[in-house]
Amino acid sequence: MKVYTLEEYNTMSKSPEIVFWVGCAGSFDPRAQKITKALVKILHHAGLEFAVLGNEESCTGDPARRAGNEFIFQMMALQNIETLNMYNVKKIVTACPHCFNTIKNEYPELGGNYEVLHHTTLIQKLIDEGKLTIEKGKFEGKKIAYHDSCYLGRINNIYETPRSILKQLDASLQEAKRNREKGFCCGAGGAQVFKEEEEGSKKVNHERVGELLEGNPDIIAANCPYCILMMNDGVKSKEKEEDVMVYDISELIVQANRW
């Protein structure tokens, strides 16, 4: 198993089937790196040729734009589009709903047109095509509570694909009181993750984790690295880190298949 960059592919005069957009969290945050590696394993086992941009990748600009700093957003976005277009990239997969949303919905107006998939959509496709199977057994009898991220769910209307993958894990799937289009934010979006919350009665992620823990799940599953950071923090604040694990869907597949 080796991870190639697009540059390396380019020098081999080849192009990969898909580009894996790793994102800042997936690149730098130790917890989110595990999601990156899980997706690499899935792509590898499914036999999909992929490449990453490595040091040629920049932040998509999502937090800057939502903070209100359009200059920095444009700097990031235009640079990325230059790079992607230079390599003639057609298809992108990412494990971050923020990157997914920005590349899919905001880059076209700036001249970047690609087919963009969130990794849960790709995973379901690989399952449908028979390229990926999920071993049964690992999660038998476990309870998994699913958290909809805003940027995959409410903003991009992807509610059922992640659920259908989780159902194939042999566990019992729990819904939070507020789910799907009513899903409650983890508190990270809109560049909030880079600052302290304003004064209030509680933290957004504590509120959300409290709700997810109502059914005493063994696992909280999410689809966004920032949600996962927020959920982890929330679980710790409730001193439940011994009992409840927070995972991305890709990590659960890797665990199920004992890769």
Partner 1 sequence: MVQRLIFIAVLAGVSFVAYKKYVRIFNIIRLGKEEEIADRKSERWKNVFLVAFGQKKMFKRIIPAIMHLFIYVAFLFTQIELVEIIIDGVFGVHRFFADKIGFLYSLIINSIEILSVLAFVATVVFLWRRNLLKVPRLVKPEMKGWPTLDANYILIGEIILLIGIFSMNGADAVLQNLDPEHYPATGGIISAAIGEGIFSGLSIGTLQGIERFGWWLHILTVFGFLLYLPMSKHLHIMLAFPNVYFSRLKSRGEISNMPEVMNEVKSMMGLIEESTDAADMSAELPDFGAKDVFDLSWQNILSAYTCTECGRCSSVCPANDTGKKLSPRKIMMDIRDRAEEVYTKIESENIDKKDYDDGKSLFDYISEEELFACTTCNACIEACPVLINPLEPILELRRYKLLTEAKGPEEWLPMFTALENGGSVWQMPDQRFDWANSINQESTS
- For residue 203, give the amino acid letter: K
User: What residues from 138 to 177 belong to the interface with partner 1 (CB under 8 A)?
Assistant: 150-151, 154-156
User: What residues from 215 to 254 belong to the interface with partner 1 (CB under 8 A)?
Assistant: none
- For residue 84, give the amino acid letter: L
Under rule CB under 8 A, residue 192 binds partner 1: yes
Q: State which of residues 18, 38, 48, 64 lies at the interface with partner 1 (CB under 8 A).
A: 64
Under rule CB under 8 A, residue 1 binds partner 1: yes
Contact 65, 220 (CB under 8 A): no
- For residue 221, give the amino acid letter: A
Q: State which of residues 31, 45, 110, 240 lies at the interface with partner 1 (CB under 8 A).
A: 110
Going by C-alpha positions, the residue among 147, 208, 210, 136 that lies closest to residue 173 is 147
How far apart are CB 234 and partner 1 at their closest, in Å? 12
- Residue holding tokens 């394993």? 41
Under rule CB under 8 A, residue 211 binds partner 1: no
Q: State which of residues 11, 55, 141, 258 lies at the interface with partner 1 (CB under 8 A).
A: 55
Quick one: 171 or 220, whose CB is closer to partner 1? 220
Q: How far apart are the first and last CA of the chain?
A: 12
User: What residues from 29 to 48 belong to the interface with partner 1 (CB under 8 A)?
Assistant: 33, 36-37, 40
Q: Find residue 143's DSSP bridge partners.
A: 172
How far apart are CB 170 and partner 1 at their closest, in Å? 28
**Tokens linked to 223:** 């689809």
Which one of the spans 120-128, 206-214, 233-241, 247-255 is the region binding partner 1 (CB under 8 A)?
206-214
Q: State which of residues 38, 52, 246, 253 lies at the interface with partner 1 (CB under 8 A).
A: 52
Q: State which of residues 135, 170, 207, 218 lies at the interface with partner 1 (CB under 8 A).
A: 207
How far apart are CB 139 and partner 1 at their closest, in Å? 25
Under rule CB under 8 A, residue 196 binds partner 1: yes
Q: Find residue 92's DSSP bridge partners.
A: 19, 116
Burial of 205 (0-12, 13-18, 19+ CB in 10 A): buried
> How far from 140 is each of 29, 44, 88, 161, CA to CA, in Å?
30, 26, 44, 20
Beta-carbon count within 10 A of 73 CB: 22
Q: State which of residues 128, 129, 199, 239 lies at the interface with partner 1 (CB under 8 A).
A: 199
Question: Concatenated DSSP letters for 150-170?
Answer: TTTTTTT---HHHHHHHHTTT
Under rule CB under 8 A, residue 259 binds partner 1: no
Which one of the spans 99-107, 162-170, 215-223, 249-257 is the region binding partner 1 (CB under 8 A)?
99-107
Quick one: 99 or 165, whose CB is closer to partner 1? 99
Contact 73, 65 (CB under 8 A): yes
User: What is the β-pairing status of strands 91-94 and 143-146?
Assistant: unpaired
Q: State which of residues 10, 15, 67, 175 lies at the interface with partner 1 (CB under 8 A).
A: 67
